[in-house]
A and B are shown apart, each in its own frame.
Chain A
Amino acid sequence: MEFGWSEEETAYRRRVREVLARELPEDWESIATQGPGSDAQTDFSKSFCKALAKEGLLIPHWPEAYGGEGCSAWHHFVLGEELWAVGEPRGPQYMNVNWVGPVLMRYGDAAQKARHLPRVRSGDAIWCQGFSEPSAGSDLAALRTQALPVEGGYRVTGSKVWTSYASRADFCVVLARTSPDGRAGIVILMTDMSSPGVQVQRIPALVGEGDLHEVFFDDVFVPTADRLGAEGQAWEIINFALQNERVGIPRYALSRRMLDRAVARLKADGRFDDPVIQDGAGRALALCEAARLLVYKVIDQRAKNAPPDAFGSLARWAVVRADNGVSDFLTEYAPDGLLNADPMQRAHHQRAISAGVASGAAEIQLNLAARRFLDLPSENQRGL
């Protein structure tokens, strides 16, 4: 057991920072404050991801056979930390490289890979995730969008909600139901967002422009060729995707950076000598570092090719507490940051308030960890 970075990992982090220093424009933070789903960040992501691709930093974690470098889970995570800490300049495309691509590699057929992977690895495609519905959020299996099997494909009717990036997306990973048969009756359709019958409406939200949408599917035809995996395999694929998603974002990295920036302002104002402020800052710091270590433990297991386990659910909970703990500290002792003294603080706040909701309510992780990490009985159990 040891907690250090290798020389190679340190050099890799340094290189990522150098690339960011070179590629991020002077007005990057004003772009970043508009949120990863905003028009400004979506547009920027297209040029930025191409630059990252040229540097070999867009998909370094992908296998060489798919154009990546097969880099270690640690290198991938160092990259993720550095990008999230500056406000995630990949915008919506972080999702493509972290899970859409890997899911395609694992479950896609040759034609699907040939169609989609080149655009993902060149930083050209925007995807969105059509999972949540008005009556199915964290309870995904309750989804109602219908995929009626027809000659050559499916006719999709229904609606999705909270869909990030949808107004700019080229494709949507749509979960739809071919039968009322629970999880087995779900298919995954990689739906072209320009298909007739797809309508997108933005939802004005606290979390920023472009992050929340409603997407309506009115008898949308999706060819069988765009179904990912077999019918009945969707739940397995979703779990694979969400395992990558749940601890895929090193949120504590931005939280720690915002804490550092707020402390710098408090020191400049002569307020950091206040023991109450030091107390709050120290507690927020502890939350960040706890989240960092639990996530690192998950990455360590990933680096050793161990199968994901319920420890990831504990890590997600720690991450949510860290994001919110830092946000609460900043709001209480550095509210000027939300009044334009540090526009990135607003961006952090918006990410923090969605941390426990995005990619499934954090309380679902508590359910999972209760059963799989603590081995507690099912809620339905009667007697011993």
Chain B
Amino acid sequence: MDFDLSEGQATILAGLDQLLASVEREPPKAPVFTAYSVELDRLLAQAGYLDIVREDPSALLEGAMIVERLARLARSVEAAASILVGAALGVEAERRPIALASALEAPARFLPMARTLIVAQGEDALIVDVEPSLVEPLETLFAYPYGRLRDPPAAPTRRVAGAGDLLRRRWRLALAAEAAGLMQSALDTVLDHVKTRLAFGRPLGAFQSIQHRLTMGAETVQSTRWLALRAAWSDSEVDVATAAAFAQDRIPALTYDLHQFCGAMGLTLEFPLHHWTYRLRALLGELGGSSGQARAAARAAWAA
């Protein structure tokens, strides 16, 4: 057991941080619901970060670390499915971004720019080659680009028999790792706010009622992060479902508190909080929500 980064892991993340330093990291100035970084997408693909598990299937933990780190950015980028799901399902490296959906006709994150849609269909996975003309972009409060297939029955699909469980496991892992990074940045944003915003002559963060809930939030962030990383290390059904269940279970209370402590400012698009909280709230509804993951964890733990 070792909770510190190995030399190799530290090198990977240092390289990633260097790459991230070259892109715009500040939240968009324009009042937008959704910000996707096309530039970062290109740089990540070029530098090989999205192929880390494809090149070394044992590098799932390092892949999850990259997903977590990227999720901290205000602008979203499709990395989790490319790193943790695509190669495992046999999707070619260049056929990304990748969107994931529970049904062919369901809305999916990243579908407007995706080249592949992977659908969990019972015991199987369906892989759909996508191009923008097949996709109807959707307006949404969720801070991810969303879309759905214009004509699902006509979509060119191929079935990967027996891959349903693998797809759901890696999707859950992607969800947990991404949630951990989103939670961290959302919490950091609100911590900055409560340290500098005065009420009744004191910083908001000096009030015990706020301190306690933010500390509980910090426990949520840390627990989500370590559960996700352990799940990536073991790649076991129970660890992965447990990590995703925990993350989704905590999203409502955490996002409520974080918005609450920012008052009306937290309801504006000028304040960047929604770039993380409205991605978290999008993740909340995936794969059947927290109950879906909790039941999956219970079945895996006790072989129902």
Interaction A to B: yes
A residues engaging B (CB < 8 A)? Answer: 1-5, 74, 260, 263, 267, 272-273, 275, 278-283, 285-287, 289-291, 293-294, 296-297, 299-301, 304, 311, 313-314, 317-318, 321, 363, 366-367, 369-371, 373-384
Q: Which of B76-84, B126-134, B190-198 contacts A (4 or more CB under 8 A)?
A: B190-198
Let me know if A290 and B227 touch, CB within 8 A.
yes
State which of A260, A275, A285 has its C-beta within 8 Å of the C-beta of B297.
Answer: A285
State which of A3, A74, A275, A363 has its C-beta within 8 Å of the C-beta of B295.
Answer: A275
Expressed in whole angstroms, the Cα–Cα distance for A226 and B286 within the complex equals: 62
Question: Would A273 and B9 be within 8 Å (CB), given that A294-B223, A377-B195, A378-B206 are in contact?
Answer: no
Let me know if B1 and A263 touch, CB within 8 A.
no
User: Using Cβ atoms and an 8 Å threshold, which residues of chain B touch A375?
Assistant: 191, 195
Let me know if A383 and B297 touch, CB within 8 A.
no
Question: Would A370 and B214 be within 8 Å (CB), given that A282-B242, A286-B249 are in contact?
Answer: yes
Q: Which of B17-25, B97-105, B154-162, B228-236 contacts A (4 or more CB under 8 A)?
A: B228-236
CB within 8 Å of A: which B234-285 residues: 234, 239, 241-243, 245-246, 249
User: Using Cβ atoms and an 8 Å threshold, which residues of chain B touch A1?
Assistant: 2-6, 9, 61, 229, 233
Question: Would A366 and B222 be within 8 Å (CB), given that A4-B1, A382-B201 are in contact?
Answer: no
Expressed in whole angstroms, the Cα–Cα distance for A293 and B180 within the complex equals: 15
Let me know if B215 and A366 touch, CB within 8 A.
yes
Q: Which of A275, A296, A321, A374 has the most CB of B within 10 A?
A: A374
Let me know if A300 and B215 touch, CB within 8 A.
no
User: Using Cβ atoms and an 8 Å threshold, which residues of chain A touch B207?
Assistant: 379
Interface mask (B120-164 → A, CB under 8 Å = 1, otherwise 0): 000000000000000000000000000000000000000000000
Expressed in whole angstroms, the Cα–Cα distance for A382 and B203 within the complex equals: 7
User: Using Cβ atoms and an 8 Å threshold, which residues of chain A touch B38?
Assistant: none
Expressed in whole angstroms, the Cα–Cα distance for A376 and B209 within the complex equals: 12
Interface mask (B207-226 → A, CB under 8 Å = 1, otherwise 0): 11001101110110011001
Q: Is B167 an interface residue (CB 8 A)?
A: no
Q: Is B296 an interface residue (CB 8 A)?
A: yes
Let me know if A279 and B194 touch, CB within 8 A.
no
Question: Would A286 and B219 be within 8 Å (CB), given that A377-B195, A377-B205, A383-B201 are in contact?
Answer: no
Q: Is B95 an interface residue (CB 8 A)?
A: no
Q: Is B185 an interface residue (CB 8 A)?
A: no
User: Using Cβ atoms and an 8 Å threshold, which residues of chain A touch B61?
Assistant: 1-2
Let me know if A286 and B245 touch, CB within 8 A.
yes
Apart from A272-B304, A285-B294, 18 more pairs, CB < 8 Å:
A1-B3, A1-B233, A2-B233, A74-B1, A263-B301, A275-B291, A278-B294, A280-B294, A282-B296, A285-B242, A293-B226, A293-B230, A304-B4, A369-B215, A370-B215, A376-B191, A379-B211, A381-B206
User: Using Cβ atoms and an 8 Å threshold, which residues of chain B touch A381?
Assistant: 202-203, 206
Question: Would A369 and B218 be within 8 Å (CB), given that A279-B295, A294-B223 are in contact?
Answer: yes
What 7 A-B pairs are tightest by C-beta distance, nearest first? A282-B294, A290-B223, A370-B211, A282-B298, A286-B246, A282-B297, A293-B226
Expressed in whole angstroms, the Cα–Cα distance for A49 and B109 within the complex equals: 58
Q: List 21 A-B contacts (CB under 8 A).
A: A1-B3, A1-B61, A3-B1, A273-B304, A278-B298, A285-B301, A290-B226, A290-B227, A290-B246, A293-B227, A296-B1, A299-B1, A314-B219, A369-B215, A369-B218, A370-B208, A375-B195, A376-B191, A378-B206, A382-B202, A384-B196
List the A residue with the shortest CB-CB distance to B301.
A285
User: Using Cβ atoms and an 8 Å threshold, which residues of chain B touch A281?
Assistant: 294, 298, 301-302
Q: Is B293 an interface residue (CB 8 A)?
A: yes
Expressed in whole angstroms, the Cα–Cα distance for A311 and B215 within the complex equals: 11
Let me know if B191 and A282 touch, CB within 8 A.
no
Expressed in whole angstroms, the Cα–Cα distance for A366 and B207 within the complex equals: 12
User: Using Cβ atoms and an 8 Å threshold, which residues of chain A touch B6?
Assistant: 1-2
Expressed in whole angstroms, the Cα–Cα distance for A263 and B304 within the complex equals: 10
Output the least CB separation between A284 and chain B (Å): 9
User: Using Cβ atoms and an 8 Å threshold, which residues of chain A touch B202?
Assistant: 377, 381-383
Let me know if A366 and B216 touch, CB within 8 A.
yes
State which of B1, B212, B246 has its C-beta within 8 Å of the C-beta of A366.
Answer: B212
User: Using Cβ atoms and an 8 Å threshold, which residues of chain B touch A74?
Assistant: 1
Expressed in whole angstroms, the Cα–Cα distance for A87 and B212 within the complex equals: 31
Output the least CB separation between B19 and chain A (Å): 21
Question: Would A314 and B249 be within 8 Å (CB), given that A1-B2, A1-B4, A1-B61 are in contact?
Answer: no
User: Using Cβ atoms and an 8 Å threshold, which residues of chain B touch A370?
Assistant: 205, 208, 211-212, 214-215
Let me know if A363 and B212 touch, CB within 8 A.
yes
Expressed in whole angstroms, the Cα–Cα distance for A5 and B1 within the complex equals: 6
Let me know if A376 and B298 touch, CB within 8 A.
no
Let me know if B293 and A317 touch, CB within 8 A.
no
Question: Would A300 and B198 be within 8 Å (CB), given that A2-B233, A278-B295, A281-B298 are in contact?
Answer: no
Expressed in whole angstroms, the Cα–Cα distance for A294 and B223 within the complex equals: 7
List the A residue with the shortest CB-CB distance to B188.
A374
Output the least CB separation between A194 and chain B (Å): 43
User: Using Cβ atoms and an 8 Å threshold, which residues of chain B touch A384?
Assistant: 196, 198, 203
